[in-house]
Amino acid sequence: MWCYLAIAGHIAVSPTLGSTATHIRSALGGLKGTALQAGDFLPIDVPRVLEPPLAVFMAPWLERPGNVIRVVLGPQDDYFAADQIAAFLNGPWTISTRSDRMAYQLEGPRLKHTKGFNIVSDGIALGAIQVPGEGYPLVLMADRQPTGGYPKIATVIGADLGKLAQLRPGTQLRFQAVPLTEAVEARRAQARLLEGPIGVEPLIRTEFPSEFLLGLNLVDGVVGGTE
């Protein structure tokens, strides 16, 4: 769903608020605050040749089988009855096509609040799952707002945020509640992997799914089977 392209040099655009990143919703940064379009030119400062050639960084924490995302319940899970917590965990949930870097909107069973759907606005952690009045959860992502006034039924653990971010619209998932101790240990294990040597593999395609092959012009005509 998302990937990073490492530029061998520096993207030479004027910084906004100390950053050259782009925030599309507020039209700030990058190239006039807009998403890149075909034909856009990115000026590169101090270009260089990479040695070794192109490679891909492998992230083993994204490879847990199945689309099960671990969460810690709360901090406002008391706004939901036990059967609604069960419905949240059982799902299944489908990532909506309306999802973006601000929030992943989920489609599935409609959750009901027992104590209303308004709270005193408080801070929004990365991965917090709000349930607004309509009853469909929103997983707050990288471009989330700093505060919010809807009850948060759970929070995605840090070690599973990358896996969730890579799920495409239309993908089904379920949530699994884990204790805080498991969330902390999973994060520590991820940190230990990042502290070690960075492993890369050559950027060579070893799998050829039908979607990839159908997108190529592999046949330009028909020839006889003899010399």
Residues 91-109 pLDDT 10s: 999 999 999 989 999 999 9
**SS3 readout for the chain:** CCCCCCCCCEECCCCECCECCEECCCCEECCCCCCCCCCCCCCEECCCCCCCCCEEECCHHHCCCCCEEEEEECCCHHHCCHHHHHHHHHCCEEECCCCCCCEEEEECCCCCCCCCCCCCCEECCCCEEECCCCCCCEEECCCCCCEECCCEEEEECHHHHHHHHCCCCCCEEEEEECCHHHHHHHHHHHHHHHHCCCCEEECCCCCCCHHHHHCCCCCCCCCCCCC
Asked whether the beta carbons of 142 and 166 are under 8 A apart, the reply is no
Mention every residue, 6+ apart, whose C-beta is less than 8 A from residue 40: 31
Asked whether the beta carbons of 62 and 162 are under 8 A apart, the reply is yes
Distance CA 171, CA 94 (A): 6
Average pLDDT taken over every residue of the chain: 86
- Give me the pLDDT at residue 1, please: 83
Strands 172-177 and 68-73 come out as parallel
Over pLDDT 90: what percentage of the chain?
56
Over pLDDT 70: what percentage of the chain?
81
Q: What number is the average pLDDT over the span 14-26?
A: 88
- Give me the pLDDT at residue 148, please: 94
Superfamily of domain 61-190: Cyclophilin-like (2.40.100.10)
**Domain residue limits, the chain:** 1-51, 61-190
Residue 133 tokens read as: 């009045």
Distance CA 35, CA 24 (A): 7
Phi, psi (deg, nearest 5) at residue 189? -65, -40
For residue 154, give the amino acid letter: A
Distance CA 190, CA 179 (A): 17
- Give me the pLDDT at residue 52, please: 57
| Closest CA relative to residue 6, chosen from 187, 153, 203, 190 | 203
* pLDDT above 60: residue 203: no
Q: What is the pTM of this model?
A: 0.76
